[in-house]
Structure 1
Amino acid sequence: MNETIAGTLRRAAGTRGRRILLAVTIGIGVLAAALMTGLPSAERTFAAFAEQVQLLISVPLPFIGVLLANDLRKTPGVRVQPTLAGAVLIAVAAGVAGNVLVVAALAASGSTAPDPWAHAGVIGLTGVLVQVLAQLVGTGLGLLIKRPVWGCLGTIVLPLGAYALLAPLGAVRDWLTPYAAAQHLLTGSAGAAEWARWATVALLWGIALNTIGAVVLRRRAARVAPQKANLQR
C-alpha cells in the first residue's frame, strides 16, 4: 500500500459509515451554533460562540483520525506521514467550518454585546489548532489501539479523565490536558503563558503520542515481515 495524502482523504469518506461520521461532526457544530443564539443578547460574542462550537466539533472529529490510523495496522510497513498529513488537513477544514458557523450564527443573532467580534481573528486561528490537536489524539490512539471502538472511546475518556484527575492540581492541569489548554486559547486573550501551555499539551498529546504510535507500528511491521517471508517459501 503506497499511501498518499489524497488516498487518506479518499479513505476518510470511503465508506457510508465514515461519510455519516463526517456529516455528524459538522452537524454537531451547526447545532451548537444554533443553540448559542439562545444566550442573552449581551453575552453573544465570537468568543462565547467559538468555545462551544469548536469544543463540540472536537468530540467526534478524532474518531475519523482513529479510523484512518487504524487502517495502517492492516498493512504493515506503510508510511505513517501521509495519513497524519491528510488527517490534519481534515482537521483544518473542520476548524474553518466551525469558524464559518460561528460567524454566521453571531451575525444573525442580533448581539448587543459591547464588542461581539473582539479577538475574532485569534480565536478563529485557535479554533483550527484545537481541531488539529483533537485529530492528532485520534491518529495516535488509532496507531496504538487495535480495536477502533476502543480508540474512539479513548479520545474522550483519556483527555477528559486526565482533566478530572488533575482538577485538584489546578495549574498543572492547564499544562497537561487538551481541554484546559483549549479553554484558555479560545478566550482570544491568551498570553505567552497560555501559548506555552498549549505547546506543551500539543507536544504530549499530539507529537509524542503519534511518534510512539509510529514506532510501535514500525516494530510490528518488522516482526511480521519475517513471518510472511517464511510462509512464502
Structure 2
Amino acid sequence: MTQHASDIGEAPAGLGAETLDAIRRSVGTRSRRWLLAITLLLGLLAAAAVTAGVRPADRTFAALSEPVQMLMSVTVPFLGALLANDLRRAPRTPRLAPTLLAAALLAAGAGVFGVLACAGALAVASPATAQDPWSHAGTVAAGGVLVQVVAQLVGTGLGLLMRSPVVASLASVALPLGLWAALGGVDVLRPAQEWLTPYAAAQNLLSGRMSAVMWAQWLVVLLVWGRGLNAAGMARLTRIV
C-alpha cells in the first residue's frame, strides 16, 4: 500500500488549491483508484444483496443503508491513512487543513454514492415493500455521509500517528471495533459504547431516529476520533519534522 505521491511540500499555495492537490493525490495512483473502486463496488453489491435477501415487508431505505454504509466505511479510512502518509513524507511541516478537507470531501462523496445505491435498489425493487419504505430517508441519507466522514477522519488520524499506512489502515478497523466489543462485554460500561465508539454512533445515524442525546453522542465521537486523533497525529508529526 506504499505510494509514490507528488512532493506535497511544493503544493500550490492557498487552501483551495492545496485541497484540490490532495484530492488529486487521493486518486493519483493505480492502487488508490482501485481502492476507491473497491469501496464503491462494495456499496453496490451490498445494496443488491440486501435488497434481494430481506423480506419485502422489511425492505426500507434505512434497512438497506446500514449494511451498505457500514461496509463502505471499512475501506474508506484506508484512503485517509494513505493521504496522511503523504504528509509524513513531506520535507517540511505541512498544513493539515487541506488534507483533512480533501479526505472529508472524498468520504462525503462515497457516502452520497451509498445513498444513491440504496435509493436506486429500493426504487427498482418489487412494489411489495414495507408500508413506509422511505421513512426517515433524509436523516438516514445525511447519516450515511457523516458515517463516512468520521471513518475517514479515523483513517487520517491513525495515518498521522503510525509510520506504516498498512498498519494504520488495519488499526482503523481493529481499534474502534475493539473498543466497542470491550465496552459491550462489561454491563456497567455498555452505555459508554454510544458515547465513545464510531460503530454505535453510526448505527444510531443510520436508524434515522436521532434524538438530541444521540446527536450529542455523535458529536462526542467526532471530537474523540476525528479531532482528537488528528490533533495528536499532527502534534507528533510536527515533533518528527
Judge same fold: TM > 0.5, yes or no.
yes
Residue of 77, 80, 83 corresponding to 2:99:
83
- Work out the CA distance in 2 between the residues paired with 1:170 and 1:46: 28
Equivalent residues in 2 for 1:125-144 (5 A)?
A: 125-144=142-161
- Work out the CA distance in 1 between the residues paired with 2:124 and 2:86: 42
Match of 1:59, SS state, is helix
TM-score (norm 1): 0.93
1:97 partner amino acid: F
Q: Name 1:193's counterpart in structure 2.
A: 213
Residue of 195, 203, 221 corresponding to 1:183:
203
Q: Name 1:54's counterpart in structure 2.
A: 69
1:35 and 2:49 correspond: yes
Q: Name 2:14's counterpart in structure 1.
A: none
CA contact (8 A) 1:136 1:205 kept: yes
Deviation at 1:78, TM superposition (A): 1.4
Equivalent residues in 2 for 1:1-233 (5 A)?
A: 1-3=9-11, 4-37=18-51, 38-75=53-90, 76-110=92-126, 111-167=128-184, 168=186, 169-221=189-241
Match of 1:102, SS state, is helix
Task: Give the gaps of 5 or more residues in structure 2.
Answer: 1-8, 12-17
CA contact (8 A) 1:42 1:113 kept: yes
Deviation at 1:2, TM superposition (A): 3.9
Task: State the 4+ residue runs in structure 1 displaced beyond 2 angstroms.
Answer: none
CA RMSD of aligned residues (A): 0.9
Deviation at 1:80, TM superposition (A): 1.2
Deviations 1:4-51 (A, max 9, x none): 111111111111100100000000000100111121000000110011
Match of 2:147, SS state, is helix
Match of 1:60, SS state, is helix
Q: Name 1:228's counterpart in structure 2.
A: none
TM-score (norm 2): 0.90
Count the aligned residue pairs: 221
Deviations 1:64-91 (A, max 9, x none): 0000011111113111111111000101
Deviation at 1:211, TM superposition (A): 0.8
- Work out the CA distance in 2 between the residues paired with 1:89 and 1:181: 20
Deviation at 1:179, TM superposition (A): 0.1
- Work out the CA distance in 1 between the residues paired with 2:29 and 2:204: 36
Deviation at 1:112, TM superposition (A): 2.1
CA contact (8 A) 1:2 1:78 kept: no
Match of 1:78, SS state, is coil
Match of 2:89, SS state, is coil
1:189 partner amino acid: R
Q: Name 1:225's counterpart in structure 2.
A: none
Task: Give the gaps of 5 or more residues in structure 1.
Answer: 222-233
Match of 1:96, SS state, is helix
